[in-house]
Each structure stands twice: as structure tokens, then as C-alpha cells.
Amino acid sequence: MQAPFTSVESSSPSVASWHSQSSSSIVSTQSSRSFQNRNRRRVTKRSDVAGANKKPRIFHCTFYTLPILDDWRIPPPPISSRCGFCDQHLVSWQDRADHLTQHFRQGKTMAEWKGDHNFEPSIAAQVRNALPPYLLANEALTMVPFSATDPTVPDHFAQIEERNGKTLPDPEQQLDPGFDLTPDSYTKFLAWHLGRFAQQSFASGVFPTDEMFQGEARRLVYGSDDNWEQTIADNEQWIATFRRQHLSKD
């Protein structure tokens, strides 16, 4: 009666060993297949990525060897202007950029610029947040230089409006445009204010001089008539342009 029991015990390691070997073989086979599948997926994935990288380069003009894509480009409109350093007429924006680059490389600064850009009216009407170029050097030396991004500039404009009152449209006065004081309207605001000052002076029988305009501009901008303070009205080109545009009929 001992033999069967002994045989069973003697056969158990064999069965266990067989199960262990079988399990190990199955796991090894599965691991091998999984590794192969991963490799297969990895290769496929890299192939897909390589193909995906080619498509944007083809369809987004990275390959400049395709001349047909040049037809998609729209050339910019010609923008004629003048150089304030040598008074040369420039027929395109690229010509302007190249030409001015040469001047600046030779040491020119905006303090030497004379006159305006002389853009065509349709182009000049689209310019925003800009001063006449001949004012840039002097304006950079003022207490609050003109800027479209400096947060102190709107605060300064708010102080000007608080001292002088906000302009509101007046149908009885054609000179009164009714606008907010912003970097885009700064020069228009000053010209409008000095134009009104000139009308008041004429009504009193006084013909305003450049010094009177400059003093009034300082009172408007800084709240005082201190000669140490400078405004754009102290620029000879600007005050001459102001007289020509606003007082030529008087």
C-alpha cells in the first residue's frame, strides 16, 4: 500500500518540473512575441512619424524647389517715401530698410533727420501710434517721452485731461473734433489746442508768436511755463508745419 503513495510522491517533482518548464516556456514565448510586437510597433510608429514630418514640409513650402508655390505669395504694395538724411526718394519698403540701414551703420542718428516720411496719403492714413520722425530725438529727452506701450504715458495723458478738461464734440466749432487723448491722437490734440489758443489770441487782437505757442504747449503738457521743460512745439520743424497747416489762412 506504500508503493502507490511513494510513486505519487516520486512523480510529483516531475509534474511540478514539467509545469514549471511549460510555464517558463509560455512566458518566454509571450515575452518574445511581446518584444517583437513592440519592435514592430516602434518601427511602424517611427515610419509614421517620418512620413508625417515630410507632409508639412511639402505642403507648407519648406521645400523651395517647388516653383508653383511661389504663385501663392502676394507681393506687398509699393510704399514710396523719402530719406530724411539725404532726401533720396525710395520706391519700396525694402529699399527704404536697406537704405536707412546704411545710414545708421555710418553713425547717423534721428537727431540729424530732416522733414517727414512723405508717405502717400493712403499709407499715411494707416499709420498708428507714431510721431513725425524729426521729433523722435527731441521727444526722447523729455520728462515723459512719447510711447505707445509705456504705462506712464497714459497716466500723463490723464493728468493733461484732468488739468485742461476732456475734449467733447462741439457742433458749433469745426476745430473741436471730440477725441480721447491717446498716443495715436497726441499730436492732433496738441495741434487742436494750439489752434484754439490761436483763435482766442486773434479774437483779442494778438498775433501769437512761436514763443507764445511754446509756452502754451508747456502749460498744456506739464501744467507750468517752465522753459526747462520741452514739448514738440519747441521743435522748429513742427511749429513751422503747424503754422502752415493751421494758420496759413489767417
- pLDDT tens by residue, 136-168: 888 887 777 777 777 777 777 777 777 766 544
pLDDT at 114 over 70: yes
- pLDDT for the residue numbered 61: 53
Mean pLDDT of all residues in 204-209: 92
Burial class (CB in 10 A: 0-12, 13-18, 19+), 221: buried
Same domain, 228 and 191: yes
Looking at residue 103, what is its pLDDT? 98
**CB-CB contact of 132 with 102 (8 Å):** no
Tell me the one-letter amino acid at 176. D
- Tell me, yes or no, whether 90 and 185 share the same domain: no
Question: Based on the domain organization, do 69 and 82 belong to the same domain?
Answer: no
Q: Does residue 12 or residue 69 have the better pLDDT?
A: 69
Residue 8 is predicted with a pLDDT of: 43
Range of the structural domain that residue 238 is part of: 131-246
Position 210 in a domain: yes
Which residues are bridge partners to 81 per DSSP?
A: 90
Residue 13 located in a structural domain = no
Residue 247 CB: number of other CB atoms within 10 A? Answer: 16
Co-location of 229 and 170 in the same domain = yes
Which residues are 217's β-sheet partners? none
Contact (CB, 8 A) for 137 and 113: yes
- 222 pLDDT tier (thresholds 50, 70, 90): confident
Within 10 angstroms of residue 241's Cβ, the number of other Cβ atoms is 16
What is the mean predicted confidence (pLDDT) over 32-52? Answer: 50
For residues 64 and 83, membership in a common domain is answered with no
Q: How far apart are CA 87 and CA 76, in angstroms?
A: 24
Q: Is the pLDDT score of 112 beyond 50?
A: yes
Q: Is residue 98 in some structural domain?
A: yes
What domain count does the chain have? Answer: 3
Instruction: Please tell me the predicted confidence (pLDDT) of residue 50.
Output: 46
* Residue with more model confidence, 163 or 250: 163
**Does residue 180 share a domain with residue 97?**
no
Same domain, 138 and 236: yes
- Average pLDDT of the chain is 73
Note whether residue 117 is domain-resident.
yes
- Whether the per-residue pLDDT at 14 is higher than 50: the answer is no
Answer yes or no: is 29 within a domain.
Answer: no
Q: Which of 64, 95, 127 is the last residue of a domain?
A: 127
